[in-house]
Amino acid sequence: MARWFAPNEITFKREHIIFLLQSLPVLKEGHWPRQPSDTSIDPGIKSQSSGKAPFETPCQYAAEIENRLAQCFEQTGMKLHDGIITKLNICYDESEEGLAHAYNISAKEVVWRVNRCISYMSGYCARWLDCSKCSRVYCEHRHNSQTYEKFCEFDKCSKIIDRVLNSMNLT
């Protein structure tokens, strides 16, 4: 299990995405995962009153993760759906070897696809939204929306470049 995070700590960094994916079944039930520690404090119990029901925050994060995950297979015309592979690997603890056998690819490629999917899902702003429509000032570095397919094309190019540089011993 990834490191535990409180709801107010989530900024959709890579480690937060992994934590939310691993916790997805619990979040869908409307509960925040318990902190793995010696204390018996329930993160759902709040000392201050809130205008939200206790299940709202976990359900909102579950919906956001499901939406981000869906972008990794609904927009692509690829045969292998990286979003499904990622969900099976991280949410349901399917092994890389088992997924590699099921999809007839190498275990290394499963790990690569999962990492690529998590990279696409991470970041405070969604990559598939146009920043001109965003109200956040600090996300202006992402000017245009980018589909997962385009993201993968760039990723394939960088993978090929890395392979060539490694073969030439330049890295």
Q: pLDDT tens digit string along 56-67?
A: 999 999 999 998
Looking at every residue in the chain, the average pLDDT score rounds to 77
The secondary structure of the chain as a DSSP string is -PPP--GGG----HHHHHHHHHTHHHHHTT-PPPP-SS----TT--SS--SS-TTHHHHHHHHHHHHHHHHHHHS---SS-HHHHHIIIIIS---HHHHHHHHTS-HHHHHHHHHHHHHHH-SSS-TTS-GGG---GGGTT--S---HHHHHHHHHHHHHHHHHHHHTT--
What's the predicted TM-score (pTM) here? 0.74
Residue 171 banded pLDDT, cuts 50, 70, 90: very low
